[in-house]
Chains A and B, each alone.
Chain A
Amino acid sequence: MSIGFFPDLFLPRLSLILLLSASLLGCGADRQPLRIGGKQSPESQIVAEMVAELAEAQGIPVMRRIGLGSTRLTLEALKRGEIDLYPEYTGTGLAMLGLAPASNAESAMAQVRERFAPLGLAWSDPLGFNNDFELAMLRDRARALGIRSYSDLAQQSTKLSIGVDSEFRQRPIDGLRPLSRRYGLQFDEIVEVPPADRIALYDQLIDGRIDLALVHDTDGQIDDFDLLLLDDDLGFFPTYEAALLYREAAVDRFPALSGVLDQLAETLSIEDMRRLSRRVTLRGEDPSMVARDELIRLGLIDGTPGERTRQALSLAVSPSANADGEAGKVLRTLRRSFPTRTVQLVRAADPLGAVENGTTRLALVSAPAFFAPGSVDPTTGQPPRRSGLEAVGLVGTSYLQAFALDPEIKRLEDAAFIATGPEGSSGYRAAQSVVDGLQLTATLVPVEGDTAEALAEAMIQSRADAVLLMQPIGNSTALALIERGLALIAIDNWNQGNNRIVFPYLQPARLNPAAYAPFMASTTATKTLLAKLGQPIDTLVTQLVIAGPAPVTDSALGDHGPGASFIPNALPLTDLSVERLNAALDQDEEIYPILPQARALAPRLPKPPDPLNPSPGASLLTFGVVAMLIWMVWLLLRPAARTPSVKQRSSGKTE
């Protein structure tokens, strides 16, 4: 058995390598993958991802260059053959060639096809939606100023401010300057945002910092906020019909591509597109995931929607979290701070528990989630803190929102049964703290529900007298309860006893019902509801934070080694990630000192001088080791025992 495996294994191995490399050379050189481009807007990214997904399903190798840049840059990339395809609008296509835009869809498509053909570029059949430019205003503001059309603007434009994205501002044919020239507008102030941040214009519009915003027809927010779209009475803007602009050569390379283009023709209505784009802009979902889910819905590919990818960075939120509100904001921030990861939302009754057991990487929770009320830690006199978790970023403020289910109840003390979120949720933990702190006799009724609405419904059905929610303003469950016309009740005697010391994560605050207004459609019905809620009331607040796993530091021995192939605990976020995340969250407040915090957030104290000898034990050990080494050297160098008598003697001595 002394002949090894070498001779009989070497030949097959060599031939396999040759075969592999030959097949690589055969297919790699002349077949570039289909390079799919896309602009930075969410609509463009979603459509591009849909094309990519479908092409992959057809067996076409795909390279994604989605989110490439501005229209000009993307078109240039297509012309140069850097990309093979991207979604474009007919109106933009004409404008990019410097042509007078056509406002008629039929003729616009015919025109672009004719004009782009000499460049070797072709337009697919329309996708089914138009994404026109619109000027949007708050209805109240427009009514007050008497503005309905663009021409009306001309009278008052010197008093008005407008918000646009930087790309629109630069467009020479259908941009801000040509528009101003056409209608004779001269705005008082022009607020410019980067195209990727266009969603910020809505916030500014709602807050009254701008009067007008340049929006896209596919934005879901137009309906959400019930905005007034002004009438383009002189027909300045052409029709922007969406289609796919591609290099004709690409279809020659991949004949299956024409099938893909046909599959997408007339599949997406403007409503579909609004729904999809709000998932990306508002909820912070990943365009590729949104595209995949939509293709599954349309029956164009097989699969289960919302499937988690292994690579994804998952964020656990409570079932009541508002995907359009705080959860969406956090998800958008995460996507910005972790650009290389897909970001996914996972709903869990106890989001911190999901981080603890490694199901998700991060959780969005209120501070009470870090504590286990009901018992007392004898060393601090406070509820014991859950270990292995730390706060990595501050998101905002959670309010304890108490609703009376029974109209008779005016104070929380009167309630006999209080409905809260599921056991383990921060709402439940906060409610437990309140019951303990105010020494209430009420029984807590934990309620489960997999969506915000279901939770609100279950809370009402639970036959409790009151509901306690620990959530930020704008939380879906709270909004659902307000829409049911339930009254808010105050929690006003928190300062009794030593509550503020025992439960330092609950701070007294005043909640103004007007704060709910921006999260509700401004209809007369909601206005009456808000008016019914009445005056500001006293309640409790806490911080809403992103939490992750904390470092486990009990030994200097690392997790690494030839046999160490398993790490039981998730590693904490790196300092770099925490810093990026906090830069993106942009909060000016610090996290409560009682919460365990990521190392990068803790203040860096100047180190006190170490004592001259930090560890006498170590000195002793060092001394021992040095003595041992000297002994070893002596053993090595001592003269060899030459005669048996010497040997006898030396052995006798050591015995």
Chain B
Amino acid sequence: MPAPVEPRQIAGVKLNRVFIVSLILVAAFGAWGLIDPEGMSGTSLGFTTFMLTSVGWYWLLICTGFLILAGYLAFGPYGHIKLGGDDEEPEFSTVSWIAMLFAGGMGAGLIFWGVAEPLYHFRAPPGMIGETADAARMAFTLTNLHWGLHAWATYGVCAMVIAYFTFRRGKKPLISTPIESLFPGITGQRLGEVANVLGVFAVVFGLAGSLTMGTLQIRAGLGELVGTPLSFGMSLAIMAVMYATYMTSTAVGVDRGIKILSNINMVVAVLMVVYIAVLGPTAFIFETFIDSIGSYFTQLPALAFHLLPFEGLQEWTANWTLTYLIWWLAWGPFVGIFIARISRGRTIREFCAGVILVPTLFSMFWFAVLGGAGVYIELFGAGGIAELVFQDVTRAFFVFLDVFPLGQLLGFVALFLIFIFLVTSADSGGFVLSMMTSEGNLNPPLPYKLIWGTLVAVLTVATLFSGSVDVAKAMAVTGAVPFSVVLLLQVVGFLRAIRSERHEAERSLDAADEDAQPMSTTNAGGL
């Protein structure tokens, strides 16, 4: 094994191979999108479409597999293992932790689709007649399938493989670490570098695509609320404000910037749903919530393998369920590393509950409130919003908010929430990129964050300039396809490592049963 050559440094940035190769790749792909937006979006969307339609089962299978794996880890013999030293305390308080992972993992889409998705399925459920009681129940079940356990289990697994190696084994918090443990020697290093570059690639474009759509969404929202023009200049202004905000937040560090923003976000989001729940049909909303919990969890085993081949609705499945899954996978690398970064000192069981169960319940409540109020208006009220969803989702959302007292103000609150969601995503994304390219520095130096934050902003502006939302969509999800293989390798590496920890513990238990290591109690319980 040759000794690694110490890379050159410029302004505190080490020019290692991952950094340079990903920079070149990102620039090349970005340039392609700028020069030939239609060719680029056509090719990458065509590729993703082929992957979604030909092997749709694979996406559903692996995401369901992650959910089962998370359940096994939480309730199985490894539940007590701590992601950190055996007597380490969690770095962040539980509320801040959940607020941060929620803000990092959920995007502006949660606000945007809060009313629209349940109403969409209510009106046009797959293989059913719309606007019936059954359709309403189906609407919530499907919405929860799309935003619930599958999403957070994917994130959770992405995060756990990193967190385990970083905090338990003291390795670098890189995508490559679990893979290197699987393939010792130079093969592992090469594979790891490819995985890291893929990770950087997926994160940069996932972020730029999401920021582009978010900017357009804020622009449309402002146009709807105060009648600002829908021009490129307006997009630029929004992006400039966003850039300034997330760079400031990045500069002050995770434990202040993103934490404060996430907490603000959480409080505002909770206040908004409480406001709507209290002033809307409160009883109906809570009935919807409880009812949707029941139907979601009872139907989960079937829905987790729900591909509708006999109904001939593969197109619908690709368009909704698989699209969501591919989004979660695309966001996996950065949300995963970010969640890993903030989860030091949690046990695996605690980790699974916090990362998978709590956010799922919260998003179910979120949809029960927004969607429930929407369905109530359709079924028992004046109606008209579901019809509007099929015309203009943005407008439908603001018309929905207008039903409530101070609707205009609520509209601004929603835009603010979208803005903060985008800022926290960009912030955590930039942070993760810096970590990945600074060889896994848990507190990467500022120049890295500056470079990546700016690069993402430049890509976003370029995409906005090209004016093609297809380019943004293509950029955002293309990385998910290769990353799914990387993730599977990571999971295998992680499972082998955690299994060997148990074996080592057993052996050390056999060797010296007098002074048992703290870990041995875990395994005694597990056996």
Indicate, yes or no, whether A interacts with B. Answer: yes
A576 within 8 A of partner (CB): yes
Q: Which of A2, A310, A558, A566 is within 8 Å of B320, CB to CB? A: A558
How many whole Å from B184's CB to the nearest CB in chain A?
A: 5
Q: Which of B270, B383, B425 is within 8 Å of A563, CB to CB? A: B425
> Which stretch (B87-95, B242-250, B449-457) binds chain A?
B87-95
Complex alpha-carbon distance, A338 and B112, angstroms: 24
> Which stretch (A48-56, A103-111, A621-629) binds chain B?
A621-629
Flag if A563 contacts B210 (CB, 8 Å).
yes
Q: Which of A24, A564, A615 is within 8 Å of B278, CB to CB? A: A24
A100-119 interface (Cβ within 8 A of B): none
Known: A570-B391, A647-B184. A621 touches B54 (CB 8 A): yes
A577 within 8 A of partner (CB): yes
Flag if B183 contacts A13 (CB, 8 Å).
no
Q: Which of A5, A20, A567, A632 is within 8 Å of B263, CB to CB? A: A5
Flag if A17 contacts B274 (CB, 8 Å).
yes
Q: Which of B274, B320, B398, B492 is within 8 Å of A635, CB to CB? A: B492
Flag if A655 contacts B271 (CB, 8 Å).
no
Q: Mark A499-531, 1 if CB is under 8 A from B, else 0.
A: 000000000000000000000000000000000
Closest 8 CB pairs of A and B: A563-B210, A4-B93, A618-B54, A651-B185, A340-B384, A561-B327, A340-B383, A558-B323
Total chain A interface residues with beta-carbon distance under 8 A: 61
Total chain B interface residues with beta-carbon distance under 8 A: 104
Flag if A560 contacts B255 (CB, 8 Å).
no
Flag if B213 contacts A340 (CB, 8 Å).
no
Complex alpha-carbon distance, A573 and B322, angstroms: 24
B469-486 interface (Cβ within 8 A of A): 469-470, 473, 476-477, 485
How many whole Å from A580's CB to the nearest CB in chain B?
A: 11
Q: Which of A21, A571, A636 is within 8 Å of B495, CB to CB? A: A636
Complex alpha-carbon distance, A6 and B259, angstroms: 13
Known: A4-B263, A13-B270, A340-B382. A563 touches B492 (CB 8 A): no
Complex alpha-carbon distance, A410 and B315, angstroms: 58
Provide the residues of chain A in CB contact with B434, threshold 8 Å.
none
18 A-B pairs besides A556-B52, A577-B387, A640-B503 with CB distance below 8 A are A2-B92, A13-B267, A16-B271, A24-B278, A310-B398, A338-B387, A557-B477, A560-B323, A562-B328, A563-B327, A568-B216, A618-B53, A635-B496, A641-B184, A651-B185, A651-B187, A654-B183, A654-B185
Provide the residues of chain B in CB contact with A306, threshold 8 Å.
none
A-B contact count (CB 8 A): 217
Provide the residues of chain B in CB contact with A16, threshold 8 Å.
271
CB-based nearest B residue for A314: B391
Flag if B320 contacts A6 (CB, 8 Å).
no
Complex alpha-carbon distance, A103 and B394, angstroms: 56
Known: A574-B123, A636-B495. A310 touches B402 (CB 8 A): yes
A565 within 8 A of partner (CB): yes
B13 within 8 A of partner (CB): no
A555 within 8 A of partner (CB): yes
Flag if B323 contacts A561 (CB, 8 Å).
yes
Known: A1-B255, A622-B55. A560 touches B117 (CB 8 A): yes
Provide the residues of chain B in CB contact with A560, threshold 8 Å.
109, 113, 117, 146, 320, 323-324
Flag if B278 contacts A555 (CB, 8 Å).
no
How many whole Å from B383's CB to the nearest CB in chain A?
A: 4
Complex alpha-carbon distance, A44 and B90, angstroms: 68
How many whole Å from A499's CB to the nearest CB in chain B?
A: 35
Flag if A556 contacts B315 (CB, 8 Å).
yes
Q: Mark B209-230, 1 if CB is under 8 A from A, else 0.
A: 1100110110010001000000
A144 within 8 A of partner (CB): no
B240 within 8 A of partner (CB): no
Flag if A566 contacts B213 (CB, 8 Å).
yes
CB-based nearest B residue for A17: B274
CB-based nearest A residue for B209: A563
